[in-house]
Amino acid sequence: MIKVTKELIKELAEDIMLEISDEEAEKVYQTEEKIRNEFLKVTNMNVDGIDPMHYPFDVVNTHLREDENPVTITKEQMMINAPSKDKDYVLIKKVVK
């Protein structure tokens, strides 16, 4: 398992272009530690003799709503509204390094 540190949290935040303070990194670190400890409790549970479950409930919900087709616009309408385009493509600003 990866060891999460405050430095790793700050590095990951920088990778996704997010600025966080040391206090925020500390809060994320503390939250991650709490979550990790809860997972360790579950991982260490004795489940000998318990059958695995494929579905956690006795009855599958059969009363689902009907799917509805959403209202959409045509490609031509979309291209008219696009602020920047090249032939059949909408151009967007680069968001990765």
Give the Å distances, CA to CA, from 80 to 1, 73, 76, 89: 50, 11, 6, 12
**This prediction's pTM:** 0.52
Q: Quick one: pLDDT band at residue 93, thresholds 50, 70, 90?
A: confident
Q: What are phi and psi of 48, to 5 degrees?
A: -60, 135
Q: Quick one: pLDDT band at residue 12, thresholds 50, 70, 90?
A: very high
Per-residue pLDDT for 7 more than 90? yes
pLDDT in tens, 29-88: 999 999 999 999 999 999 899 888 887 777 766 777 888 888 888 888 889 888 898 988
Q: What are phi and psi of 89, to 5 degrees?
A: -120, 140
**Residue ranges covered by each domain of the chain:** 6-43
